[in-house]
Amino acid sequence: MEKIIRNTVKDVPDFPKEGIIFKDITPVLKDSSVFSGLIDYMYERYRDKNIDSIVCVESRGFIIGAPLAYRLGVPLVPVRKPGKLPRETYKEEYELEYGKDGLEIHTDAIERGDRVVLIDDLLATGGTVSAASKLVKKCGAEIEEIFFIIELDFLKGREKLEGNKIHSIVHY
């Protein structure tokens, strides 16, 4: 799967700003055989792990988390930007290069003691998924693993996720 994803992801220079090489996963989504292969790969990885929920980070995490939750027959739990969820939430703020942002999860989204897989498309600096993992823990759940399609090793985001098991398909 690593070679297929690596060969399908496209580099977009200077996006969203000059000097950044954006790793575009939309070609993975466009190619139905690659996308279904990705979901099958994830299903095989987690089908025997007694997972209770798939927790996915807005918005690209939703794209890969939803079909996995369906295949596993477990709930899909969204983690969203502040103000997007309609009921009582837990909120976690995290640092950006210039300022702060936040994420929220419904307080009743996960049961205490549930085993979850936390999913996002890409691990860069780790701020977003670190906040998401703190939200899962506020709910009282256990993170079986944090899953990414891509990890940008040079940004050292994994360091912010110490104590968590992490799986990334492709490393740059």
Query: At residue 165, what is the residue type?
Result: K
DSSP string, 110-137: S-TT-EEEEE-SEESSSHHHHHHHHHHH
Q: CA distances (Å), 87 to each of 55, 58, 80, 107, 138, in order?
A: 17, 17, 12, 8, 16
Q: What is the pLDDT of residue 98?
A: 75
Is position 60 annotated as part of the catalytic site? yes
How far is Cα 123 from Cα 151, in angstroms, rounded to an integer?
5
pLDDT digits (tens, 9 = 90+) for 65-89: 999 999 999 999 999 999 999 999 9
Q: Would residue 141 count as lying in a domain?
A: yes
Q: Three-state DSSP class for 158?
A: helix
pLDDT digits (tens, 9 = 90+) for 36-70: 999 999 999 999 999 999 999 999 999 999 999 99
Q: Would residue 14 count as lying in a domain?
A: no
Q: What is the pLDDT of residue 78?
A: 98
Domain containing residue 85: CATH number: 3.40.50.2020
Q: Which two tokens stand for residue 15?
A: 């996006």
pTM for the whole structure: 0.96
Q: Would residue 85 count as lying in a domain?
A: yes
* Number of compact structural domains in the chain: 1
Mean pLDDT value across the chain: 96
Q: Three-state DSSP class for 59?
A: coil
Q: Would residue 22 count as lying in a domain?
A: no
Q: Would residue 55 count as lying in a domain?
A: yes
Query: Could you tell me the residue range of the domain that residue 64 belongs to?
Result: 49-171
The residue from 18, 88, 97, 162 that is catalytic is 97
Q: Would residue 24 count as lying in a domain?
A: no
pLDDT digits (tens, 9 = 90+) for 19-38: 999 999 999 999 999 999 99
Tell me how far the alpha carbon of residue 25 is from its chain's centroid: 13
Tell me how far the alpha carbon of residue 52 is from its chain's centroid: 16
Quickly state the pLDDT bin for 99 (edges 50, 70, 90). Answer: confident
Biggest distance spanned by C-alpha atoms of the chain: 44
The residue from 60, 71, 115, 145 that is catalytic is 60
Q: What is the pLDDT of residue 85?
A: 98
Q: Would residue 7 count as lying in a domain?
A: no
Q: What is the pLDDT of residue 96?
A: 77
Q: Would residue 136 count as lying in a domain?
A: yes
Please check the confidence at residue 97 and state whether its pLDDT lies above 80.
no
Q: CA distances (Å), 120 to each of 14, 46, 64, 112, 147, in order?
A: 22, 15, 8, 22, 6
